[in-house]
Amino acid sequence: MGKLKFFLVITAMATFISSVAVQALPFVEIVPESDYADEVVIAEGSQLLIINGKEHIMPAEVYYSEKSGALMVPVRYICLAVGLPENAVKWDAAQSAITIDAGKRLVWMQIGKTHYYVNRVLMPILNDSGNLAIVEVVDGRAFVPYSTMGEALHITFELTEDGKGARYNFPTQM
């Protein structure tokens, strides 16, 4: 009888622990690149935003940050350029944070921090050298390394050939 009780207690505990562990694991669903409509190109020192080959001017300038060691892009304008609606990007002044609702991906970034969240999964903000970078503010606008925007939205991204610009959401060759 003692062995049966012990077995039942162990089985109940294992079931409880595994169910809690499964519930605690965050669920990250990947958004296919085709869910975003536009191919985007930007360049350092420019307010020019090229969306599907057509030129647009954004009220923010892409820059290289010595502090972060990265090409920095404006969060809101990259989100809008790839096809997210205006209301998908929200500013929370109380927490100095940005929330991006990209449908199946919820991104949360806080000014001055070295990490951000995608569907409650903590992600590092890295520059091209693999060092930590931060969310910066310039003229009241949030900027992150170009690669962080690509990773956060799960879109293709790369530096341009001259290393002074970036491309997003372009078709890849498999």
pTM above 0.95, yes or no: no
Residue 167 bridge partners (DSSP)? 41, 158
Tell me what pLDDT residue 173 has. 52
Number of structural domains, the chain?
A: 1
Please state, rounded to an integer, the average pLDDT across all residues of the chain. 84
Residue 16 has pLDDT above 60, yes or no: no
The one-letter code for the residue type at 93 is A
Per residue in 85-122, pLDDT tens? 999 999 999 999 999 999 889 999 999 999 999 999 99
pLDDT tens digits for 130-155? 999 999 999 999 999 999 999 999 99
Does 27 reside within a domain? no
Cα distance between residue 75 and residue 144, in whole Å: 7
5: in domain? no
Residue 13 lies in a domain: no
- 42 lies in some domain: yes
Give the type of residue at 151.
Answer: E
Residue 155 lies in a domain: yes
CATH number at residue 56: 3.30.457.10
% of the chain at pLDDT higher than 70? 78
**Residue 15, pLDDT above cutoff 60:** no
Distances (CA, A) of 153 to 15, 54, 55, 80, 162: 36, 22, 22, 12, 24
| Domain, as residue range, for 143 | 37-168
Residue ranges of E strands in 22-164: 40-43, 48-51, 54-57, 63-65, 70-74, 89-92, 97-101, 106-110, 115-118, 121-124, 136-138, 141-145, 157-159
Whether pLDDT at 25 is above 70: no
- Taking the C-alpha atoms of residue 148 and residue 125, their distance in angstroms, rounded to an integer, is 6
Long-range contact list for 169-172, CB < 8 A, 24+ apart? 169/33, 169/36, 169/38, 169/39, 169/40, 169/82, 170/39, 171/39, 172/33
Q: Is the pLDDT of residue 32 over 50?
A: no
